[in-house]
Amino acid sequence: MRYFIGNWKMFGVPKSRNILNKINKFNTKDKNRNKYKVIITPPYTLIESYAKYFKNKKIVVGSQNCYQKDQFSSNTAAISPYMIRSIGAKYTLVGHSDNRAEGDTDLMLKDKVKYALKNKLKVVFCIGENKLEKKNKKTLSVLKKQMTKVLEKNFNKNNIIVAYEPIWSIGTGKIPTGSDLKKTTVYIKKVLKDIFNKKSPAVLYGGSVDGNNVEIFREIEEIDGFLIGGASKSSKKFIDIIKNYYR
What is the binding site for ligand 13P (CB under 6 A)? Answer: 7, 96, 165, 170-171, 206-209, 227-231
Find the shortest distance in angstroms from Cβ 98 to ligand 13P.
7
102 catalytic per annotation:
no
Find the shortest distance in angstroms from Cβ 205 to ligand 13P.
10
165 catalytic per annotation:
yes
Find the shortest distance in angstroms from Cβ 200 to ligand 13P.
20
CB burial of residue 1 (10 Å; 0-12, 13-18, 19+): exposed
Minimal CB distance residue for ligand 13P? 229
Nearer to ligand 13P, 82 or 238 (CB): 238
Nearer to ligand 13P, 65 or 208 (CB): 208
Nearer to ligand 13P, 165 or 224 (CB): 165
- Burial profile 64-80: b = 16 or more Cβ within 10 angstroms, e = fewer: bbbbbeeeeeeeeeebb
Active-site option among 129, 133, 152, 165: 165
Nearer to ligand 13P, 200 or 208 (CB): 208
Find the shortest distance in angstroms from Cβ 165 to ligand 13P.
5
Active-site option among 96, 102, 152, 215: 96
Nearer to ligand 13P, 86 or 212 (CB): 212
Find the shortest distance in angstroms from Cβ 136 to ligand 13P.
22
Q: Catalytic residue positions?
A: 96, 165
